[in-house]
Amino acid sequence: MTIFAKILAGEIPATFVYEDDHAVAFADVSPQAPVHLLVIPRKPMKSLHDAVAEDTKLLGHLMQVCRQVAAEAGLSESGYRIVTNIGKEGGQSVEHLHFHVLGGRDMTWPPG
């Protein structure tokens, strides 16, 4: 069971800034920017790379949740970044699909 599955099951505490039947969002425990939220599906899925055709609607919904929580965090004008890490070389550490919503500072490119 991943740490995010435990959060979804209520076994590990997290304060949801957004939740519905399909997705939740909460603050990253180790923030890399003044705003650092994680948006995850309730459906267990290892990463974006594991998504199948039937997940298309869910993925679109997750993108809408990302933009909504970013807006609610006050990032609409300043801009922000959405990141999903995939696998070892992608820097993924939790094997449950998640989108990082990062903002509140200038982002650099290329990413590390």
Determine whether 100 is an active site residue. no
> Cβ of residue 42: shortest distance to ligand AMP, in angstroms?
16
Q: How many CB atoms lie within 10 A of CB 56?
A: 10
Least Cβ distance, residue 27 to ligand AMP (angstroms): 7
Q: Select 52 or 111, whichever has its Cβ closest to ligand AMP.
A: 111
Contact indicator for 55, 38 with CB cutoff of 8 Å: no
Q: How many helices (H) and strands (E) does the chain have?
A: 3, 5
Cβ closest to ligand AMP, residue 32 vs residue 76: 32
What is the closest distance, in whole angstroms, from the C-beta atom of residue 10 to ligand AMP in the complex? 13
**Tokens linked to 91:** 């820097």
Residues of this chain that interact with ligand AMP (CB under 6 A) are 3, 12, 14, 28-30, 38, 85, 91-94
* DSSP states of 50-87: G--GGGHHHHHHHHHHHHHHHHHTT-TTT-EEEE---H
List 36, 49, 98, 100, catalytic entry: 98
Q: Which residues are catalytic, by number? A: 98
